[in-house]
């Protein structure tokens, strides 16, 4: 990273910082922009997979696959015609395994609502991935992560975690008086501890930390981002960028910045609160273009 001075972390992220840590050129093929898979969904929360998958495409990922329970596969295929859909029952199909093994980045967790199902999926998916495939864990996949420490250690895949504050407290084991965890916030120290514990890049409420101790801060005081589905948009943006870059830290920093910038733009268009997660997702390519083209971004 010697030619990317701001990739070293330990500072506030601005558009200019990101320009000194540029994304790869998109190329002229969807395959050159990366292949992603989103594993999740349930009858109670099928929309989370849609939000995450579309957000991945909106930051430039080239090919999208959705791995979801059979009960919601057809509605999601109709709702997201841009993606291929792989239904699962108790086990992954051979076709699903082939798709996952050819993915550049995989997101697991959005829309899952059952701990047992989540554990089973993680144990089924992780062994079939190529070592270079970036794995992003969100939502219920974070809730069961403390039970899967051995499985994670066996995996060679770069790992990115996108917890909210409650999930961060769980990962820190908030019952430990020395943990430094807070129900109100997860600061740089907390994020760094999660990153070191799980050997993962972590993005939590504007703080991104790496296992080696690097930290980046994306400033925001936008209450509108605290809306249902916003975390799915962030996780989708991160996995989409991870497929493009192969670098979990860069994907997390860029994704967190772009989600924040998209929310800030919506404050001007819609209002301080009341905009929807789907609108944040729709704003992502505009925010990305402003960074890359140096227009309207600071």
- Neighbouring-strand partners of residue 64: 36
237 is annotated as contributing to ligand binding: no
Give the span between the Cα atoms of 266 and 274, in whole angstroms.
10
Tell whether residue 48 is among the known ligand binding residues: yes
Q: In sequence order, which ranges of the chain are alpha helices (DSSP H)? A: 15-19, 47-58, 70-79, 94-101, 115-125, 140-143, 149-154, 165-171, 188-198, 230-245, 248-269, 277-293
**Cβ-based burial of 201 (10 A; exposed 0-12, middle 13-18, buried ≥19):** buried
- 8 Å CB contact between 215 and 191: yes
Residue 15 region by backbone torsions, left for phi larger than 0, else alpha for psi between -120 and 50, else beta: alpha
Residue whose tokens read 């505009």: 286
Q: In sequence order, what are the residues at sequence separation of 6 or more whose Cβ sits closer than 8 angstroms to the Cβ of residue 56?
A: 36, 38, 64, 107, 236, 237, 239, 240, 243
Residue written as tokens 């920093």?
A: 253
Task: Find how far residue 30's CA is from the centre of its chain.
Answer: 20
Q: Beta-carbon neighbour count of residue 218 at 10 Å?
A: 23
Residue 53 is assigned to a ligand binding site: no
CA gap 152, 109 in Å, rounded: 15
Encoded tokens for 144: 């069961």
Q: Alpha-carbon distance 118 to 120, whole Å?
A: 5
Is there a binding annotation on residue 232? yes
Known binding positions: 48, 111, 231-232
Known binding positions for (6S)-NADPHX: 48, 111, 232
Known binding positions for AMP: 231
């Amino acid at each position: 990273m010697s030619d990317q001075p701001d990739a070293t972390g330990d500072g506030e992220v601005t558009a200019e910082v990101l320009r000194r840590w540029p994304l790869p050129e998109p190329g002229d093929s969807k395959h050159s922009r990366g292949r992603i898979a989103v594993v999740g969904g349930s009858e109670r929360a099928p929309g989370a997979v849609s939000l995450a998958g579309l957000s991945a495409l909106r930051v430039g990922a080239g090919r999208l696959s959705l791995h979801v329970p059979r009960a919601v596969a057809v509605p999601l295929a109709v709702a997201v015609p841009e993606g291929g859909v792989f239904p699962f029952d108790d086990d992954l199909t051979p076709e699903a395994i082939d798709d996952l093994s050819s993915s550049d980045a995989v997101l697991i967790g959005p829309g899952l609502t059952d701990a047992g199902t989540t554990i089973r999926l993680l144990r089924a998916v992780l062994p079939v991935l190529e070592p270079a495939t970036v794995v992003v864990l969100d939502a219920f996949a974070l809730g069961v992560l403390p039970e899967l420490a051995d499985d994670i250690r066996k995996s060679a895949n770069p790992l990115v975690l996108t917890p909210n504050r409650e999930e961060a407290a769980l990962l820190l084991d908030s019952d430990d008086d020395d943990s430094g965890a807070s129900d109100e916030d997860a600061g740089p120290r907390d994020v760094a501890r999660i990153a070191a514990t799980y050997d993962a890049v972590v993005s939590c409420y504007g703080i991104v930390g790496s296992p080696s101790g690097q930290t980046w801060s994306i400033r925001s005081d936008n209450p509108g981002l605290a809306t249902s589905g916003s975390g799915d948009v962030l996780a989708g943006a991160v996995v989409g960028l991870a497929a493009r870059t192969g670098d979990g830290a860069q994907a997390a920093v860029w994704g967190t910045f772009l989600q924040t910038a998209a929310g800030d733009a919506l404050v001007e268009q819609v209002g301080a609160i009341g905009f929807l997660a789907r609108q944040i997702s729709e704003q992502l390519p505009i925010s990305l273009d402003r960074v890359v083209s140096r227009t309207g971004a600071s």
